[in-house]
Amino acid sequence: MNLSVIIPAYNEEEVIKKTIISLFEILTQNNIPHEIFVINDNSTDSTEDILINLLNSIPTLRYETNKGHNGFGYAVRYGIERVSGDCVAIFMADLSDSPADLVLFYQKMKEGDFDCVFGTRWSKGGKVIDYPLLKKVINRIANFIIRICFKIKYDDTTNAFKLYKRKTLDGLKPFIAPHYNLTIELSLKAIIRGYSYAVLPNLWTNRKWGESKFKIKEMGSRYLFIMLYCLIEKYFSKNDFKKRT
Ligand SMILES: Nc1nc2c(ncn2[C@@H]2O[C@H](COP(=O)(O)OP(=O)(O)O)[C@@H](O)[C@H]2O)c(=O)[nH]1
Ligand SMILES: [Mg+2]
């Protein structure tokens, strides 16, 4: 099972090299056939120069600049359209997610033949280090509302780090979300369309380098929009978009 790792990156000069090298090393040690596909979003710092240099030493690295509209969601969607792996991970450039967890996600998907593997940072075994307090309060409220509305037990829909089969992603189209809200669009659609998923605990560490691009004020209404969109699909679409077997 070939793995494609999609990394959206916007101005990550301080950390992108570390992220790629750690991923490459751990995936290679575990004999996981993979490609690491970085989507650079017209970064204005030296992210692109670093990527060009790394191409010489990391044989599984590929990068492209998304010249279209900028944004986390557009970058991830750009990647989804261009990867070739049987399964696709979305992984953050700032090394907030743990490369070791990706190996566990991959093994879980392979062993159980799951359509998706999702992480939780909040249930038993999951962990966060230096999670900003305001963000945490909003995160827990948002995930609680999602759990009630969608009648699910999974408590970390907003966690961006997830693993999907490529076929599953094909079944989640058309994609709507341009920004961070793509994270919940993909996972909620996977759940309501009947794709199987396993949940594993994962570790999230606040970035030690660079700056967060996430702005709650800009994203709040966008998350609500996508959540309502998925709710409408869940309750009114008569299962027209369900997984076909
Ligand atoms: N390609 C692309 N990546 C982005 C954009 N905004 C954020 N990212 C990446 O998305 C990931 C998460 O963003 P981050 O700023 O760390 O958000 P936070 O962890 O919620 O504070 C990082 O890998 C960023 O480089 C964007 O507009 N385009
Ligand atoms: Mg981050």
Quote the pLDDT of residue 216: 80
Does residue 244 register a pLDDT over 90? no
Q: Decide whether any atom of ligand 1 lies within 6 Å of the 79 Cβ.
A: no
Model pLDDT for residues 40-87, shown as the tens digit of each residue? 999 999 999 999 999 999 999 999 999 989 999 999 999 999 999 999
pLDDT, the chain, mean: 96
pTM: 0.96
Instruction: Measure 205 CA to ligand 1 centroid, in angstroms.
Output: 14
Does residue 106 register a pLDDT over 90? yes
Q: Choose the residue to mutate in 63, 77, 92 for probing ligand 1, maximizing ligand atoms within 8 Å of C-beta.
A: 92
Model pLDDT for residues 153-194, shown as the tens digit of each residue? 999 999 999 999 999 999 999 999 999 999 999 999 999 999
Q: Decide whether any atom of ligand 1 lies within 6 Å of the 71 Cβ.
A: yes
Quote the pLDDT of residue 165: 98
Instruction: Measure 218 CA to ligand 1 centroid, in angstroms.
Output: 14
Q: Which CATH architecture has domain 3-236?
A: Alpha-Beta Complex (3.90)
Q: Is 62 exposed, middle or buried (0-12, 13-18, 19+ CB in 10 A)?
A: middle
Q: Decide whether any atom of ligand 1 lies within 6 Å of the 119 Cβ.
A: no
How much is the average pLDDT of 9-18?
A: 97
